[in-house]
Amino acid sequence: MKTLIRLDLNVPIKNGNITDHSRITNYTSSMQELVSKGNKICIITHLGRPKNHDPKLSTKNLIPDLEKAWKLNIIFVPIYDPVLINQQLENLKENQILLLENTRYFEFEKNNDLKIAKKLASCFDTFIFDAFSTAHRKHMSTNAIAKCLPSSLGSTCKYEIKKLQETLNAEKPLIIMGGAKAQTKLTLIETFLESCSNILVGGVLANTFLKAQGFNIQKSKYEPELIKFCKTLLQSPNSYKIILPFDFLSCTNLDDTHYRTTEILSQNEIIADIGPKSTQKFKEMIEKSNTVIFNGPLGYIENTNFSKNSIKILKEISKTEKSYLGGGDTLKLIKLAKLANKNFSFVSMAGGAMLEFLANNGDLEVINEITQT
């Protein structure tokens, strides 16, 4: 069986080295199982947001780490040529798999090009979609290709959906939203506002809510196009459930640190983290909660001056009975807090897809089209 499988190997790379192998090790057992059953496997994935075929973002660079984690021999295919792919598939030996070049090097990916998908599909018998974190984007490698081959969801994708469904069925969960990507997070807040216990807010999202309330947030980052949406939520019957920070750590250049409330935020300052009193209140609310859903840190965690309160929050979450976390920055925060995924009920590898899945009550078009074929 010749199988094309869409994985998410979009790992963070710094100075040519992978800094977090979670997305690689996440697939170890499933890849070994597929190969052990005699499948001829070809992987398609993206890596970063390349411009002009940036060689640093070639998937070829992943091969040493993939081979070490999966104990498989990987053959690199640099171009999307059906003749070459077919030839390489035919020549595959036991314990070998193919890896295609970064699909985002090519315009046909974002264009969701059905013509290219058909050519690629001619090389294979089946398609497996196992990259849940890309399920909110209709690209060639997530959507068009699934229309050209008998398609199914991979084991890690199924597990991700199962765990996220648990959060949709949770009784009065406590939601904690930070980081960026405020648009989807506002939609999620709207979805959960009636059924949740409370929603604790930090980061850019909190700044946008504060701006909507009329506070002078000075130079703090916020999303002006979402002010109207925030005002609508703040005027809803359940708006009392939205808990905003009421004290902050601010700065002017990320080197200085000041304790502030919104009333005394100085000119040209930016809110860089929630303050100690807000942190304590959030911790007390987490302590009383049975289920916590967390996405995105509450401060600018890239700077150690502004990561401590998010770490305190995360450590408190690790003590709860049920905890569901997601997002790329959340994965960074777990490492900063010297915690591990096993300290929580579930840690999603997805960010935007997790948010959209929850915001839309488990409805994602890419997933739906595959499961309904």
Report the pLDDT value the prediction gives residue 351, as an integer from 0 to 100: 80
What are residue 335's phi and psi, to 5 degrees?
-65, -45
Report the pLDDT value the prediction gives residue 256, as an integer from 0 to 100: 83
Q: How confident is the model at residue 196 (pLDDT cuts 50, 70, 90)?
A: very high
What are residue 321's phi and psi, to 5 degrees?
-65, -45
Report the pLDDT value the prediction gives residue 316, as an integer from 0 to 100: 97
As a whole number of angstroms, the distance between CA 226 and CA 222 comes to 9
Lowest-pLDDT choice from 110-124, 140-154, 242-256, 274-288? 242-256
CATH superfamily to which 161-359 belongs: Phosphoglycerate kinase, N-terminal domain (3.40.50.1260)
Report the pLDDT value the prediction gives residue 79, as an integer from 0 to 100: 95
Report the pLDDT value the prediction gives residue 275, as an integer from 0 to 100: 95
Report the pLDDT value the prediction gives residue 373, as an integer from 0 to 100: 59
pLDDT at 345 over 70: yes
> How high is the mean pLDDT of the chain?
92
> What is the average pLDDT across 315-331?
91
Any residues with CB less than 8 A from the CB of 102 and at least 6 apart, and which?
Answer: 45, 46, 47, 48, 50, 57, 58, 59
As a whole number of angstroms, the distance between CA 68 and CA 364 comes to 33
Every domain of the chain and the residues it spans:
2-153, 161-359
As a whole number of angstroms, the distance between CA 151 and CA 371 comes to 8
For residues 269 and 198, the model is more confident at 198
- Quick one: 31 exposed, middle or buried, by C-beta within 10 A (0-12, 13-18, 19+)? buried
As a whole number of angstroms, the distance between CA 233 and CA 291 comes to 23
Closest CA to 188 of 351, 318, 315: 351
Write the CATH number of the domain with boundaries 2-153.
Answer: 3.40.50.1260
> What is the average pLDDT across 223-229?
93
Report the pLDDT value the prediction gives residue 232, as an integer from 0 to 100: 94
Q: Tell me, yes or no, if the two domains 2-153 and 161-359 fold the same way.
A: yes
As a whole number of angstroms, the distance between CA 129 and CA 52 comes to 27
Report the pLDDT value the prediction gives residue 183, as an integer from 0 to 100: 77
Q: How confident is the model at residue 369 (pLDDT cuts 50, 70, 90)?
A: confident
pLDDT at 161 over 90: yes
Lowest-pLDDT choice from 27-36, 98-107, 121-130, 254-263? 254-263
Residue pair 132/161 in contact by the 8 Å Cβ criterion: yes
Lowest-pLDDT choice from 23-27, 37-41, 42-46, 352-356? 352-356
As a whole number of angstroms, the distance between CA 50 and CA 105 comes to 6
pLDDT at 372 over 80: no
For residues 208 and 261, the model is more confident at 208
3-state secondary structure of 294: strand
As a whole number of angstroms, the distance between CA 259 and CA 240 comes to 26
